[in-house]
Amino acid sequence: MNNKKYVAYAVVFVVLAVLVYLQFRTWQHFDWARLFQFGLNWHHILHGVGYIYIAYFLRAVRWKIFLRPVRKEASILGLIPPTMIGFTGLALLGRAGELIRPYLIARRENLPFASQVAVWTVERIFDIGGFTALLVAAIFLPSKLRAFTRAAPPEVRQWIHLTGYALIAIVLGLLTVAVLTSYRGNRIAQWVEDRFSHLAENLGHRIAQKIREFTVGLNTIHGPFAFLQLSAVSLLMWWVIALAYKEVTRAYGAPMHSMSATKVLLLMGASMIGSMVQLPGVGGGSQLATISALDHVFDIVPKELTVSCGIMLWLVTFVAVVPVGLLLSHHERLSLRKLSEETEQAEEAAAAGTTS
């Protein structure tokens, strides 16, 4: 691990420590002894884990659609192990393991690593688009969540609506960028490379390389039917993840029974935002954001329940993949740490333009 990563982790640790202190300072009578004494219904927890595993299967299905133009013979079953191992690397190594999945798929299918990084980048757009479509529908269309927003305090209601509008703007912006890149990607990359070539560490070339990778990724969407398939799988996958969140909250009994699947989408959004500030293996940001949402948005009491539920949601949605992922990596004689190092080297080589 290089010095930059140590500095990044130190900064994340300090930020999380400050946020945790500010959160718990407002709770004057937090009873730590009660934290693990809630009677959980473990059937709901297991159902939640099952839904999360279905979501990983759907991710493999979606990647199969991406691969169709270049590897029509690629199988969904063959894509499941790289998917599970990749998310295990992400859970245990943090952002250092984020590109293990495209690296393993590229190696398995004998494809350039840069091409699968491009697919991974486009996949992020479908993730944001799929989740946004579900959340915006829940906020603005007639639903139980719509009734909840009307009954919520004015500041909470305003925050929910602003979140909906912001997500719509982000998705429209991403779609605009995607359309422009698909038609003028190489020209845009060349302009960026010429315009910013004087910057330190060859930054202009690196940015241009990312644009070219993104253009390659967009080319994997082979026609309107493929786009519809990718969109449908993305919507289904995020709905399944919402059901996993709902099952975990239902495990806590009466205090959480009002958490419908549409309400849980707000929790998912908070968790996704919080996951941007994570420490390898222990998380932090995701749990804290979920706890804050349960406390301030949904006003779940007691406070100990919100902490317990936030931790359990993280375990089910982020960590449950680890046992199977480690078994698969052991079966294939793979080391996550070594894979992370190989991925970093491949990424640097691609950025330098030494890979095809």
Using only C-alpha atoms, what is the Rg of the chain? 21
- Crossing angle, helix 100-108 and helix 336-351, to 10 degrees? 80
CB 292 within 8 Å of CB 165: no
Asked which of 19-23, 182-186, 193-197, 213-217 is least confident by mean pLDDT, the reply is 19-23
Give the whole-angstrom CA distance, residue 278 versus residue 259. 26
**Residue 93: is its pLDDT beyond 80?**
yes
Would the pLDDT of 230 be above 70? Answer: yes
Model pLDDT, residue 69:
84
Looking at residue 347, its pLDDT comes to 73
- β-pair partners for 278: 284
User: Could you give the CA distance from residue 22 to residue 279 in angstroms, rounded to a whole number?
Assistant: 19
Integer Cα distance of 137 and 292 in angstroms:
23
Question: Are 51 and 325 spatial neighbours (Cβ–Cβ below 8 Å)?
Answer: no
What per-residue confidence (pLDDT) applies to 210? 72
Of 75-79, 178-182, 337-341, which range is least confident? 178-182
Q: Which two tokens stand for residue 240?
A: 């399944």
pLDDT value at position 354? 41
Tell me the C-alpha distance between 112 and 57, whole Å: 23
Residues 135-158 pLDDT 10s = 888 777 665 555 545 555 566 666
Residue 283: the pLDDT is 54
- pTM, to two decimals: 0.79
Q: What is the pLDDT of residue 117?
A: 85
List beta partners, residue 284: 278
Strand partners, 283: 279
Answer yes or no: is pLDDT of 179 > 70: yes
Query: And the tokens for 198?
Result: 């004087």
